[in-house]
Amino acid sequence: MTKDKKHKQQPNRRQALMMMGAAGTAGLMGPMAIGRDRAFAANADASGQLVLAFSQEPTVFNPLMPHIEVDEGLYYAVFDPLFDFDPSGEFFPILAAEVPTVANGGISEDGLSWSLKLKDGVTWHDGTPFTAEDVKFSLELTMDPDFRSFRSTGYKLMRNITVVSDTELTWEMSAPFAPMAAILASTYIIPKHAFDGVADKNNTPFNNAPIGTGPFKFKTRMAGDHIELEANADYHMDGPFLKTLIIKYVPDLNVMYTQFKSGDIDVIGLQYITPDHLAEAETLKGKVVTVAGTATFESLGLNMTRPQFQDRAVRQALYAALDKSSIIEALYYGVPSPTETYMPRQSYYYNPDLPKHEFSIDKANAILDEAGWMRGPDGIREKNGVKLVFSNSTTAGNHLREQAQQFMQQTFSQIGVKMEIKNLPPAVMWGDYWMNSEFDSVVVGLNALAGADPDTSNYFMSTMSPALGGSGQNTFAYQNPKVDELLVKGAATFVPEQRKAIYEEIQMIIREDLPFLPMFQYAVIKGWKDDVTGPAPNVNNRIDTWNVRDWKRG
């Protein structure tokens, strides 16, 4: 997928460094470099125990089945993908001997033929050798109609997966699809032999006792409490450096923070330290606390099929009346950074030249006056029988979001807009209500990217909206023929420089159209004991343990 790696690498890495520096995390690049350059080195002796805490419980142990973010926290320890993204968005090989690119011949010029070379001498946790058959099995299982598979995007295009030898396989694509590499980077390979003779592949002993090639072996699970993993002494990369890794489940963020403070937890993971504790956490003795950007962006998403939002002036006025900086500074304690787009600023494809948001009630009022939205006797603006009244929904119980929502409600009322809050329990909110665009507007945090690939067709292509008869995640029901055209072009283009231009243009158009009012790019507050080295932010992965093989104590 990268025709000329060198060229892309330099500005990107520098950029990433700069942005991390800006977020107050300078000096994080050190630990990141550990291990990778010394691949295949003899394993150092693993020692010590590390307790990593998540506020959700990993429960799905077959990585090809439907799962959530936190489950991936375990996958990185137990399984390996073929290759993965490093923090600068570059691929590095894991089970693959080499990451396939157009340049090295792994991908044909037309993007239709792929060939993949695997590492030799890798074994599963039970001692069985790892071969190309396992990879073929994993890829095909994903497409098996009887298997409860996590996703089909990309895989649907794969044809003729052929095992050439134990360490090589090839396949064809029915259409060129650049994001395929990123999809493979989040595909964990599972052992074929664990499914031998299994009638129902949805229901196997493997689901409760996973076998991988990863740095840690699955040992025990205390349901509702913790999972214990032990070092895989035969790991094929450098590491692991910990004898025991414990993934602890602490459902309450305050308890989690208290236990981090008291030293019961060595590394505080997913959901992390809440922003209101940042000031105190930074003063803790013997702890490293850093703020790291993630690929998730928070926005006020609009349902573009609603009459209130048809007029671009309304969307612009709402954006002008959105007091972003107060929300970020006061409610989120300045932790996240304001953004104008869905693309994380760490990304190579980020467009830094988008118009900057300015909070101004006067300007918002002026826009609406000019567009002919007049205040009625109740103080609410209307035009042609359409009143500027709409509901706003998010997950009930997300306190910070609920606070932001109530704050927005107050500022919007100053421009003659009535926003009613209608929050729903998670199972209801993110069911049909979200997928079929039954909402007026939402406050939502989305990660529109798969890894570091810039493709977002699923979210912004007009054919991807269930409300408009399509199938995908375009729940804002956004339609713009120009964006459709660019997204198609971008997905079929393999040269990063060419893709960058395409995706920067898409960001510009979406910034003008405002199908969602971008608020901020999420940042999380990570913390670990100062004798722990290794944890490093990686905006291209969904969870911290992407490099758990490098983690060390002392």
Partner 1 sequence: MLRYILSRLGQSLVLLLIVSFIGFAVLTLAPGGPLSQFALSPGMTQEQIEKIAAQMGLDRPVAVQYFDWLRHLVVGDWGTSYRDGQSVLHVIGSHLFATLLLMGSATVISVSLGSTIGIFSALRRRSGFDYTMTVLAMIALSIPTFWFGLIAIYVFSLNLGWLPAGNMYTVGDGSVLDYLRHLIMPAAVLALVDVAIWSRYMRTSTLNVINQDFVRTARAKGLTRRRVVLKHIVGNSLVPMITLAGLQLPMVLGGALVTETVFTWPGMGRLFLDSLGYSDYPVVMGLLMASAILVLIGNLAADLIVALIDPRIRLD
Partner 2 sequence: MTSVTTNTPARRRFLKSRALRRFVSHPLALIGLLMVLVLTIACFLGPYFLPYDELFIDLRARFAPPGTGAHIFGTDPLGRDIAARLFHAGQISMAVGFAVMIIATAIGSVVGVISGYYGGKVSAVLMRIVDAFLSFPSVFLLLALAAFLQPGPVMIALIISATSWMEVARIVEAEVKSLRNQDFVQAAHMLGLSNRWIMFRELLPNAIGPIIVAATLTVARAILLEAYISFLGYGIQPPLPSWGNMLNGAQQYLASAPWLAIVPGVAITIAVTGFNFIGDGLRDAFDSRTQGH
Cβ at position 176, least distance to partner 1 in Å:
18
Nearest to 191 by CA among 170, 176, 208, 206: 206
Number of other residues whose CB lies within 10 A of the CB of residue 159: 11
CA 399, CA 191: separation in Å to the nearest integer? 42
Number of other residues whose CB lies within 10 A of the CB of residue 503: 24
- The pair of three-digit structure tokens given for residue 443, joined into one six-digit string: 């406050």
Pick the piece of the chain touching partner 1 (CB under 8 A) from 221-229, 349-357, 516-524, 533-541. 221-229
- Whether 404 and 411 have beta carbons less than 8 Å apart is answered as no
Q: Read off the DSSP letter of residue 402.
A: H
User: Considering beta carbons, is residue 108 or 207 the nearer one to partner 1?
Assistant: 207
167 to 206: interface string for partner 1, x by CB under 8 A: ----------------x------------------xx---
Cβ at position 264, least distance to partner 1 in Å:
6
The reply on whether position 471 binds partner 1 by CB under 8 A is yes
239 to 268: interface string for partner 1, x by CB under 8 A: -------x-xxxxx-xx--xx--x-x----
Q: Read off the DSSP letter of residue 353.
A: T
- β-bridge pairing 49-54 and 226-231: unpaired
Number of residues that bind partner 2 (CB under 8 A): 24
391 to 410: interface string for partner 2, x by CB under 8 A: -----xx-x--xx--xx-xx
Would you give the end-to-end CA distance of the chain in angstroms?
A: 39
User: Considering beta carbons, is residue 77 or 256 the nearer one to partner 2?
Assistant: 256
Q: Which of 60, 139, 237, 322 touches partner 1 by CB under 8 A?
A: 60
3-class DSSP assignment, residue 279:
helix
CA 88, CA 8: separation in Å to the nearest integer? 10
Pick the piece of the chain touching partner 1 (CB under 8 A) from 117-125, 128-136, 150-158, 335-343. 150-158
Number of other residues whose CB lies within 10 A of the CB of residue 251: 12
Pick the piece of the chain touching partner 2 (CB under 8 A) from 247-255, 287-295, 298-306, 479-487. 247-255
Of 485-514, binders to partner 2 (CB under 8 A) are: none
3-class DSSP assignment, residue 430:
coil
CA angle, 182 then 546 then 225, to 5°: 125
The reply on whether position 146 binds partner 1 by CB under 8 A is yes
Q: Which partner, partner 1, partner 2, none, binds residue 176 by CB below 5 to 8 Å per kind?
A: none
Q: Which of 269, 275, 472, 518 touches partner 1 by CB under 8 A?
A: 472
Q: Which partner, partner 2, partner 1, none, binds residue 151 by CB below 5 to 8 Å per kind?
A: partner 1
Cα 163 versus chain centre, distance: 31
User: Considering beta carbons, is residue 98 or 276 the nearer one to partner 2?
Assistant: 276
Q: Length of the chain, please?
A: 554
3-class DSSP assignment, residue 551:
coil
How far, CA to CA in Å, does 16 sit from each of 137, 324, 505? 36, 24, 21
The reply on whether position 34 binds partner 1 by CB under 8 A is no
Q: What are φ and ψ of residue 449, in 5° steps?
A: -105, 150
DSSP 305-349: TSGGGSSHHHHHHHHHT--HHHIIIIISTT-SEE-SSSS-TTSTT
Pick the piece of the chain touching partner 1 (CB under 8 A) from 99-107, 147-155, 283-291, 380-388. 147-155
Q: Which partner, partner 1, partner 2, none, binds residue 146 by CB below 5 to 8 Å per kind?
A: partner 1
Of 419-448, binders to partner 2 (CB under 8 A) are: 421-425, 427-428
3-class DSSP assignment, residue 454:
coil
The residue ranges that bind partner 2 (CB under 8 A) are: 252-254, 274, 276, 326, 330-331, 396-397, 399, 402-403, 406-407, 409-410, 421-425, 427-428
The residue ranges that bind partner 1 (CB under 8 A) are: 49, 51, 57, 59-62, 65-69, 146, 148-153, 183, 202-203, 207-208, 222-226, 246, 248-252, 254-255, 258-259, 262, 264, 424-436, 444-450, 458, 464, 466, 471-473
